[in-house]
């Protein structure tokens, strides 16, 4: 079945540091890949997505590239801010399945 | 536009008691999902509705969990009786229906945090 493996946290960075959160997946067919973010006290929000190999999703300075050869979708940001502190979830939607399969989440804390 | 509403936000019960959660999706969204998020894990789909019909409930523990969406709008998820391992955040999400089977972004509510003692 489908599965998503995420870099374990928590991750603590200083403001303006470079961020990478690793995500790899196992799926049949050609899944779509997503990053969701959950700010404290709020629901999950879609951060970015990529629907086919070599696509790059981007939003709010975050980027992730769909790498089929390495089955990865790592999240990156060049300069994090305190307001980026949240839990980040990698997810996939495989083939004709309607459901999302989530990773376990990575807690990011950015210190001023 | 109002988001997905859930209540209550927090609930503490003792094992073997019953509990119900309520969700009101974004207006016009035909698809509604209930997820269970255990601490330290990602959300796991429990049940998916399309209007008032069940699309997928393969991961719903039907001996104790039930859900309904009678009028195709809001929904309730019930646990009866609760077990210690049911302690989790229960998330509701909704999505619009698009033509052609394209991906419909899911919009999540803030969740209900359940603690079973």
How far apart are the C-alpha atoms of A84 and A18, rounded to whole Å? 12
CA distance B92 to chain A (A): 9
How sure is the predictor about A97, in pLDDT bands with cuts at 50, 70 and 90? low
8 Å CB contact of B42 and A4: yes
Average pLDDT, chain B: 91
Question: With an 8 Å Cβ cutoff, are A42 and B110 in contact?
Answer: yes
For B10-63, how does the pLDDT look when each residue is reduced to its tens digit (9 = 90+)? 999 999 999 999 999 999 898 999 999 998 889 999 999 988 899 889 999 999
Q: Do A45 and B91 touch (CB under 8 A)?
A: no
Distance from the B7 Cα atom to the nearest Cα atom in chain A, whole angstroms: 13
Closest residue of chain A to B107, computed from CA coordinates? A45
The separation between the first and the last C-alpha atoms of chain A, rounded to the nearest angstrom, is 41
| Nearest by CB: B48 against A4, A46, A99 | A99
Q: What distance in Å separates the CA atoms of residue B75 and residue B23, rounded to the nearest whole number?
A: 5
pLDDT the model gives residue B103 = 60
pLDDT score for A8: 82
pLDDT tens digits along A81-95: 999 999 999 999 876
Q: How far apart are CA A47 and CA B38, in angstroms?
A: 22
Q: pLDDT at residue A5 above 70?
A: yes
Band of residue B72 on the pLDDT scale cut at 50, 70, 90: confident
Please report residues of A whose CB lies closer than 8 A to that of B33: 99
């Amino acid at each position: 079945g489908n599965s998503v493996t995420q870099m374990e946290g928590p991750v603590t960075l200083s403001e303006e540091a470079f961020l990478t959160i690793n995500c790899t997946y196992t799926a049949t067919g050609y899944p779509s890949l997503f990053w969701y973010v959950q700010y404290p006290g709020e629901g999950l929000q879609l951060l970015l997505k990529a629907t086919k190999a070599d696509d790059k999703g981007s939003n709010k300075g975050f980027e992730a590239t769909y790498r089929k050869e390495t089955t990865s979708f790592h999240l990156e940001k060049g300069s994090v801010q305190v307001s980026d502190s949240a839990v980040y979830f990698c997810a996939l939607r495989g083939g004709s399945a309607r459901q999302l399969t989530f990773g376990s989440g990575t807690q990011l804390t950015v210190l001023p | 536009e109002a988001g997905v509403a859930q209540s209550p936000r927090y609930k503490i019960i003792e094992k073997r008691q019953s509990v119900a959660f309520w969700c009101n999706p974004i207006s016009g969204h035909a698809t509604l999902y209930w997820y269970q998020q255990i601490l330290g894990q990602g959300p796991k789909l429990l049940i998916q509705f399309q209007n008032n019909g069940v699309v997928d409930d393969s991961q719903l523990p039907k001996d104790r969990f039930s859900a309904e969406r009678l009028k195709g709008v809001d929904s309730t998820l019930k646990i009866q009786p609760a077990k210690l391992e049911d302690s989790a955040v229960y998330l509701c999400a909704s999505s619009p229906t698009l033509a052609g089977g394209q991906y419909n972004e899911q919009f999540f509510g803030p969740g209900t945090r359940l603690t079973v003692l």
